[in-house]
Chains A and B, each alone.
Chain A
Amino acid sequence: MLDDFMTRAVLAGIGVALAAAPLGCFVVWRRMAYFGEATAHAAILGVAISLMLQISVFAGALMVALLMAWIVTLLSGKNYAMDTLLGVLAHSSLAFGLVFVSFLSGIRIDLMAYLFGDILAVSQNDLAIIWIGVILVLLLMYWRWSPLLISTLNEEMAYANGLKPKRDKMILTLSLAITVAVAIKVVGVLLIVAMLIIPAATARIFARTPEAMAIIAAIIGSLSAFCGLEAAYVFDTPAGPTIVCTAAVSFIIFNLMGYIYKKINSI
């Protein structure tokens, strides 16, 4: 079954969608979209370094993503507003990554594959790594779900409950870095944040509780991955961007439906 590249692609896409769902909810609730962007863009630098050192791309991307998260945390609250700081870090790390890659003569690199993903080229080995990462992220999210919710609402309330908001935030950052690392192959560094945010934002329309939002986001993300891949196959379009397009279309359709439903109810 895993011999088929299409099956592997679907499994990889669904895996990333599952990990991205609960994490994406926190990215939306805590307004971390730009932070996710910085982490993801830094990963291209990690890709370049791992190609140079000939180590696993996952490992390199994970380490540089974590490093970026650490630098952001270190610099936050100093001289610049957070979005300025992240704007500098996100785009410069992307630029440095791209320049760095160009130095790697001798190795033929398909840059597009890292920028926009190459889900149809996911090997069995990649698939195993992706799912290990996905399960790890899901376990971390399940373990720290309520504490993270409380500290999202109010940090002092979390402290008073005997929680450790700082540590939980680090776990959230770690989960984000893992997701970025395993999603590179699927949607690429430029579109990872879309996979985090779009399903979660769509799920908000239907959800009454945080848990429902995460579960609905997982369903929407998985369906987007599946339908996007099918569409890419039918229309012969790039798979990663097509998955994101599918998610975006569902976002628009469900929002319109929600809007019309409200209008009808209010008449």
Chain B
Amino acid sequence: MNLISIENLCVNYGAKTVLHGVDLKVDAGEIITIVGPNGSGKTSLLRAIIGATPLKEGKVTLKTGLKIGYVPQRLNFDSSLPMTVERFMNLSNNISKKECFNALEKAGAPDIFRNQISQLSGGQFQRVLLARAIMNKPDILLLDEATQGLDQPGSALFYKQIEEVRRDTNCAVLMISHDLHVVMSASDRVICLNGHVCCSGTPANVASDPEYKAMFGAETEGTLALYQHHHDHDHDYDHDYDHDHTDKKVKHSA
């Protein structure tokens, strides 16, 4: 049985349709990356999976007893909220000091145990978030642009850790990412989202897909997109969903 099975998902935000006719199945141990321009419904898709957003249509089925580890982009950390790393790791999971230490050590940040969360560096912070998410041995990890704020080596290290987690625990990973080059090297499957699933498949397949090229620029061909993309092309967001990207003019490919 699939860990997550999404059928004909439709999500509205007020009067605006953000997701439309999305089908997605996630199996155990898979690493799936969702790419797409801003406002393409990536975060809404994650929110629909965890039940944080009402569905207008369609169905999201989670395997019974599915354990989700969620790595947010950021926390609403107000400096008025005192919180040690140890206490943060302990929120909602009842774990011993030893387990907490081990989890942090595994995440590569063993010595920050007693630090205040608000004083961590970006890299340390992401490691703590990851350590907390994997502590309960989840069946699936959800990552919402978890490497935002990390530099290149930092995010490379972060994705390496995620692959290790997958290898050690056969945990599935569903992530939103803007680091296209990492996406291409680390994912089993890429979903290209823009209100609906434009294209999906192995990284190589998606990279050569005309819709993907239209979205991220033609120069990605062959090079697997070694750059952070810009959305300055003609791909207007109010388009009807039966479009054909190949017909559109792509400004920066000219």
Which A residues contact B (CB, under 8 angstroms)?
A: 28-29, 31, 146-147, 149-150, 152-157, 159-163, 165, 201, 204, 207-213
Name the residue on A nearest B116 (C-beta). Answer: A208
B120 interface residue (CB < 8 Å to A): no
Interface string of B92-107 (1 = CB under 8 A from A): 1000000000000000
Interface contact A210-B81, CB-CB below 8 Å: yes
User: Does A209 lie within 8 Å of B82, measured CB to CB?
Assistant: yes
Contacts of B68 in A (CB 8 A): 160-162
Interface residue tally for chain B (C-beta within 8 Å): 25
Selected contact of B80 from candidates A28, A147, A150, A208, CB within 8 Å: A28
Residues of chain B lying within 8 A (CB to CB) of residue A211: 87
CB atoms of B83 and A210 under 8 A apart: yes
B92–A146 CB distance below 8 A: yes
B91 A208 Cβ-Cβ under 8 A: no
Of B43-51, B151-159, B213-221, the one contacting chain A is: B43-51
Beta-carbon contact of A154 and B87 below 8 Å: no
The interface residues of chain B lying within 8 Å CB-to-CB of A162 are: 68
Q: Whose C-beta in chain B lies nearest to the C-beta of A162? A: B68
Of the residues A150, A156, A165, A201, contact of B91 by C-beta under 8 Å? A150
- CB-defined contacts of A159 to chain B, threshold 8 Å: 47, 50-52, 70
Which of B47, B84, B91 touches A146 (beta carbons < 8 Å)?
A: B91
B144 interfacial contact with A, CB 8 Å: yes
Residues of B within 8 A of A (CB): 46-47, 50-52, 68-70, 72, 74-78, 80-84, 87, 91-92, 116, 142, 144
Closest chain-A Cβ to B99's Cβ sits at a distance in Å of: 17
Q: Across the interface, do B80 and A29 meet the contact criterion of CB distance under 8 Å?
A: yes
Given contacts A156-B70, A161-B70, is CB(A213)–CB(B92) below 8 Å? no
Q: Which 9 A-B pairs have the closest CB atoms?
A: A160-B70, A159-B50, A159-B52, A160-B68, A154-B72, A153-B75, A207-B82, A29-B81, A160-B50
Question: Contact between B72 and A156 (Cβ–Cβ < 8 Å)?
Answer: yes
28 contacting pairs across A/B (C-beta < 8 A): A28-B78, A28-B81, A31-B78, A149-B91, A150-B91, A150-B92, A152-B76, A152-B81, A153-B75, A153-B76, A153-B81, A153-B91, A154-B72, A155-B52, A156-B47, A156-B52, A156-B144, A157-B70, A157-B75, A159-B50, A159-B51, A160-B68, A161-B68, A161-B70, A207-B82, A209-B82, A210-B81, A211-B87
Hey, which chain A residues are within 8 Å of B83, CB to CB?
Answer: 209-210
Within the complex, the shortest CB–CB distance from B85 to chain A, in Å, comes to 11
